[in-house]
Structure 1
Amino acid sequence: MTKRLAVLTTALTLVIGAGGATAAAAPQPAPEIFATNNTSVITDPDDPRLKNRLIRFDAEVRGIVATHGGHTTGSTLLDGVFWSSSLQQTTYERSRKFDVRGLGTAGLRHTADTVRKRFNQESVLTFEFLPRTSPRADAVQAEIPGVTAQQLRTGLANDPEAREKLGGGSVTLHDKLILVADENDLALVRRFVEKIGGDWEEAEVRTGAWEFVSAESSQKSPQWSEAA
């Protein structure tokens, strides 16, 4: 079977025009913001708070994006599983992935920082899709269908290296695992996915730039200001 992951770079679309054939890069997916309003440490996977659909949170984040001049093209509810090095335990939370347009790189960071402050988060993850050849590309995002949140929980509990390197992951309500990692850890991502029962042949992997937007990172960036 030909692996769908054979090439990480975005496929080029062949555009046929009146003047002949020219190659044009396919448009990249919308940049993403991964965020939650949870500030509690939840260690029980059956905790009723993990059933929250975050409807109000969805509307509030969309409003923040709009205030910063962007627009949200989609929002996906996620079950997050994360490893806390400080607590030395797995924690769970409901979160959302927001697909946003019209912000630019600095605007994406500023918006994520506003979300972080508004909901008292230590950090908010952003992912901007880029061609593999981009000098800014430093990360990968892998989506693997057919993986449950329980498989992710068990896998992280039993794999110390994956816990430390990946930190955690998210699963959609339709059992699609989403892992974001440093580009140098792609082999680890594959090993982990196969170990927990995922089908790597079905994985969709894209390159991009990631950032955990935190109070420390915002203080270091001269591009950020309090003005929207």
Structure 2
Amino acid sequence: MIAARVAAVFAVVFVGSSVGAVGAAQAAPGACAAGDPLRPTAELFATDNTETITDPADHRLRNRLEGFELAVDAIAVRNVALPVGSTLVSGVFWSQERHHATYERSREFHLACVDGADLGRIAQQVRARFGQESVLTFEHRAAGAPGIDAFIVEVADIDLRRFHDALVADPVARERLVGGSVTEQNTLILVADIADLEPTRRFVERVGGTWDFVTVRYGDREFVGA
């Protein structure tokens, strides 16, 4: 399934490019996961939406972003990375300036064989192409490795409304987390500063979620364009 997806994206890039050499792009082997070149080494969170959504029933939150997914995958391939799927999510984000929460439909893109420089370049191109203020990236690193400044954690059985209400009601979580994403299977995804690991764990437990260290991954976080 993943191999077919990658082949399809490479075909789109080849047909749509005016430079024939793009079709022959290959991922940098040094950035691939040892023994498994299709294992994601980075995540990229992005959307094509530029409007403010405050109503959880807004029809834009039902957009599956399929064309957007293909476009971002093509950008990744052109920058010598392997797109290995993406997860459709709905996000909740707190605005300190406006003092209210907004919703956003987006995708978490899983990228393999990509290093920090290529990841930043991909994010910058996605940001410019879709008019975004910033794009969130997360480069995976082994626990204890140098350069770790953040973590990503997944928490099962937390739906969007539950997360929204908990975030709005918790001033500490609003300031430290700012927001998070929820999958269609009601899995909450949080990306936070490594210094906020314990406050994040306490927030998850207050919401009624189960904190599982197995789902915690460490790495380098960047808001590209911010």
**TM-score, reference length from structure 2:** 0.81
Distance 1:84 1:66 in 2: 34
2:216 aligns to what SS in structure 1?
Answer: strand
Is the contact between residue 141 and residue 178 of structure 1 (CA under 8 Å) also seen in structure 2?
yes
Q: Tell me by how many angstroms 1:102 deviates.
A: 2.7
Instruction: Kindly indicate whether residue 189 of structure 2 is the aligned counterpart of residue 178 of structure 1.
Output: yes
Instruction: Kindly indicate whether residue 222 of structure 2 is the aligned counterpart of residue 207 of structure 1.
Output: no
Distance 1:56 1:175 in 2: 23
Change (3 A) 1:40 1:30: same
Instruction: Kindly indicate whether residue 196 of structure 2 is the aligned counterpart of residue 196 of structure 1.
Output: no
Please show how residues 72-83 of structure 1 align to structure 2 within 5 Å.
Answer: 72-83=83-94
- Which residue pairs with 1:221 in the alignment? none
The CA RMSD measured in Å over matched residues stands at 1.6
Letter in 1 for 2:45: F
Q: Tell me by how many angstroms 1:29 deviates.
A: 4.0
Distance 1:125 1:202 in 2: 22
Please show how residues 89-104 of structure 1 align to structure 2 within 5 Å.
Answer: 89-104=100-115
Please show how residues 56-205 of structure 1 align to structure 2 within 5 Å.
Answer: 56-201=67-212, 204-205=215-216
Distance 1:183 1:133 in 2: 12
Q: Name the structure with the higher helix share.
A: 2
Letter in 2 for 1:34: F
**TM-score, reference length from structure 1:** 0.80
- Which residue pairs with 2:9 in the alignment? none
Distance 2:170 2:159 in 1: 17
Worse-matched range after superposition: 129-138 or 113-122? 129-138
Q: Tell me by how many angstroms 1:132 deviates.
A: 1.9
Identity of aligned residues (%): 47
- Which residue pairs with 1:55 in the alignment? 66
Structure 1: stretches of 5+ with no match in the other structure? 1-24, 217-228
Letter in 2 for 1:118: R
Distance 1:70 1:29 in 2: 10
Distance 1:156 1:137 in 2: 25
Instruction: Kindly indicate whether residue 43 of structure 2 is the aligned counterpart of residue 32 of structure 1.
Output: yes
